[in-house]
Structure 1
């Protein structure tokens, strides 16, 4: 189904002011679903966004400590440099890692604080844990350069913060890496060779969770759930409800001024082709866009999902395409799983997602997705634009405008879905085959055909309606893996 999702809001200048730093979505408890209630009073201020805080510590003994037999391990009587050995130069490695970690943390937007000295004593381990408990960081990053310190790294990781990254360089372990690190819940264990990408994945997972937990999702529906304000329990996203009548009244109050008409005609001008959509419905699309922005601003929302299938001329398909392209997550049909996944992708991948409904070519073992709200900015607001047609919404009169976005053949893509209430994240990688024409395919305005990596039966990918396609590859998909591992989610898929 594709019928309008929600109407999007402000003119471009208003949008940029109101948009700010936008975040991720939420879930109302199952007990709330479908129960009528009163909307909360508006306006609401946007929730402030503070950066995630990560404490970083290095584990290794200085050379003089080993040479003088002051190490706290069984090798000290031999003045023995266990793996990584006496030529590893851990102090020099610490300087390099510190520089890299600072750079990526600044780029991502994470605040990092480093322990003042490398830790190699049990008392210092205990002191770090107590300091962390007092400082309450969002995560710790433990970099272990010494074979016999694995248990200390585990202790520091599991007792200091809600989640952790443990980096253990190859050659700093002897024999198999410890199972208690590899398989620990809530801990991202990296055993690799100078793998900056993996450390960045862990930091991005910390950042995404922090932003989600400071975000508000506006849920617009005919029946406002009771209570009208709640939190999704795993991602800790705030959710507020608003009545559809309020959105309709905001839309009806929007006038088609000169600026709005210019924006409508700009959407038309950019199109590669317009099929059976009159100028009237370009204008209605931008009225919906302004209404979406205004109701989001009224509720201080970072994301929105609207019960949108029967909004008639108020359908916000193009608004959602614009907002998602600007990293403001907008989900169709009042669907929480899909909107939460859009919000997760906004912070973890910094990409717009395409919420859609799935279909399957079982003869060719290919995945097919179709819907009406695809962004033409699929690679971030500053990235390239996809070509698009404008054609009528597929299911219901009047002939409101929707985008038929053309996806790039052979581009890597991720199919993802967060399953609320199940503590599960699904993630599949593959490549675009094409954007099939309609006919011969049906579905909705934008259609994508995908080859999935290493899957014998494409129907195994089905996890219900409204998964999300992202233009991203296997490297980015591993950010999903890091997020699932650190925040105690079951990961399904082929990553």
Structure 2
């Protein structure tokens, strides 16, 4: 659902000395003179092998060959991921663990790999006492220590367990653990007003719980940036969208040119400010200068989540998953057809590269926005039939709503609702509809309605991530 937000309504959120949203003063409002923030560094993760390797033919433990195989796979993952820095050591005592943690730094996530029966339980104290998020990786027959990981979690520690013989799961562990330090290096730009749950609207709460900075953008300054965009870049952007579209239906040349100018301006803004996320709370008021939907597509395809309608819950969801799986999300509205056991998701902005940056672009049409009499220019993207998806949203900064489905229908040309649409078969549509957003204490339609869709089944990762970040998971449907 999209709602008109006029400039008068936008300015109505301001107060002298700063912008005021959800009871919090935005003291870090972006201005043209703001210093350029530093680029993000690599995320440090401490890897601890606990105990001495076991003999190859006896005892409960991992032997030397298994330890070397794990180290080789970790080295490959560190190289392939490119944005993690591993500090690898061995611990035979709590004192050695404490020394490794001191070298790693406060709060550094930890991956423990047990190599001898009950070695981990003897050395884990400093990790738990220091509140380090931890994944326990346990090879079969490497000891009985694995069974304590769920107990530590139940006592309030941020611990998750991967018990597997698949060394590729070590990369999964690093992907999960890197999310936490990456969030602490995250800079989000917001065109107020913010919307969503109260916690997600509060920059102080976002900083406190996730570590990310949320910076307000003055729209007047962005208008000046838009006006200064190079005309040749606008022409090239418009030509790309025009040439690659399956069909251009409503938009005229001027609609496409306006949208292309905003697209380039948004890309320039994010590069200049070295920001990792964007939310625009006034997008429905942008028609005169050009809708941001093409620009949102470009940003998401380039690994920068962008949320319309100022939806901070959806934006933070997209950022978490971008760091975890390196794929963009499709933020959209929900509507049900229980007679077919399906759920529709629809919106007028969506990524082309749902498989990630190395994947192919999905086919698309260029359309006018469905809720403003077909004006402007937005993409109608046709996603892949038969694809398994995960539908999710972080709400209140402490709960992840999640479910899975399969795409069973994509219209050749949308009629009702927003332009990009998928129809997904779900486990129990009637139950899902009856309990939709039940845990949310709000009447705001957008906050109740939106979910973010990702290609693939990521429910296991959702559970791991929630344990590591002190969150709850509510499975919908």
Q: Is 1:340 aligned with 2:331?
A: no
Q: Which residue of 2 aligns with 1:75?
A: none
Q: Pick one of 29, 34, 38 that aligns with 1:39.
A: 29
1:209 to 180, 188, 191: 180
Contact 1:165 1:190 in 2 (8 A): yes
Question: 1:258: Cα distance to partner?
Answer: 3.4
Partner of 1:266: helix, strand, or coil? helix
Pick from 380, 400, 420 the counterpart of residue 404 of structure 1. 380
Corresponding position of 2:132? 162
In structure 1, the gaps of 5 or more residues are 6-27, 65-80
Alpha-carbon RMSD across the aligned residues, in angstroms, is 3.3
User: Residues 164, 252 of structure 1: CA spacing in aligned structure 2 closer, same or farther, 3 A cutoff?
Assistant: same
What SS does the aligned partner of 1:49 have? coil
Pairing 1:58–2:49 present: yes
- Superposed CA deviations along residues 447-467 of structure 1, whole A, max 9, x for unmatched, are 111122477623245462332
Cα separation, partners in 2 of 1:4 and 1:199, compared to 1, 3 Å: farther
Which one is further off, 102-111 or 232-241?
102-111
1:228, distance to aligned residue in structure 2 (A): 8.3
Gaps of 5+ in 2: 6-19, 196-200, 441-447
1:146 deviates by: 2.7
Number of the residue aligned with 2:249: 275
**Match of residue 186, structure 1, among 158, 167, 177:** 158
Q: What is the number of equivalent residue pairs in this alignment? A: 442
Q: Which residue of 1 aligns with 2:286?
A: 311
Structure 2 residue corresponding to 1:442, chosen from 416, 439, 447: 416
Q: 1:232 to 1:291 in 2, by over 3 A?
A: same
**Distance 1:189-1:154 versus aligned 2 partners, 3 A rule:** farther
Q: 1:362 to 1:290 in 2, by over 3 A?
A: same
Counterpart CA distance in 2 for 1:232 and 1:367 is: 34
Deviations 1:34-58 (A, max 9, x none): x688934333313331222222222
Does structure 1 residue 490 correspond to structure 2 residue 472?
yes
Partner of 2:235: 261
Partner in structure 2 of residue 429 of structure 1: 404
In structure 2, C-alpha distance between the alignment counterparts of 1:292 and 1:272, rounded to whole Å: 25
- Does residue 172 (structure 1) correspond to residue 154 (structure 2)? The answer is no
Q: Distance in 2 between matches of 1:290 and 1:145?
A: 53
Match of 2:359 in 1: 383
Alpha-carbon distance in structure 2 between the residues aligned to 1:494 and 1:364: 17
Matched-pair contact (CA < 8 Å) for 1:4–1:311: no
- Residue from 446, 449, 469 that aligns with 1:465: 449
Q: Distance in 2 between matches of 1:63 and 1:297?
A: 51
Distance in 2, Cα, partners of 1:103 & 1:435: 39
Contact 2:26 2:216 in 1 (8 A): no
* Residues 376-385 or 288-297, more deviating: 288-297
SS at match of 2:189: strand
Residues 351 and 3 of structure 1: is their aligned pair in 2 closer, same or farther, counting only changes over 3 Å?
A: farther
For residues 456 and 175 of structure 1, do their structure 2 counterparts lie closer, same or farther at Cα, with a shift above 3 Å needed?
A: farther
Change (3 A) 1:227 1:114: closer
Contact 1:4 1:317 in 2 (8 A): no
Q: How many angstroms apart in 2 are the aligned matches of 1:384 and 1:396?
A: 31
Q: Secondary structure at the match of 2:40?
A: coil
Query: TM-score, normalized by length of structure 2?
Result: 0.83
CA contact (8 A) 2:45 2:111 kept: yes
Pairwise CA distance, 1:89: 6.0
The correspondence of residues 94-173 of structure 1 with structure 2, limited to 5 A, is: 94-108=67-81, 109-115=83-89, 117=90, 119-120=91-92, 124-136=93-105, 138-152=108-122, 154-159=124-129, 162-173=132-143
Structure-2 change in CA distance of 1:182 and 1:195 (3 Å)? farther
Q: 2-side partners of 1:455 and 1:175: how far apart?
A: 40
What's the CA shift for 1:261? 1.6
1:229–1:241 Cα contact (<8 Å) kept: no
Change (3 A) 1:87 1:155: closer
CA distance change for structure 1 residues 29 and 487 in 2, over 3 Å: closer, same or farther? farther
The 8 Å contact of residues 3 and 372 in structure 1, kept in 2 or not, is answered as no
Contact 1:217 1:303 in 2 (8 A): yes
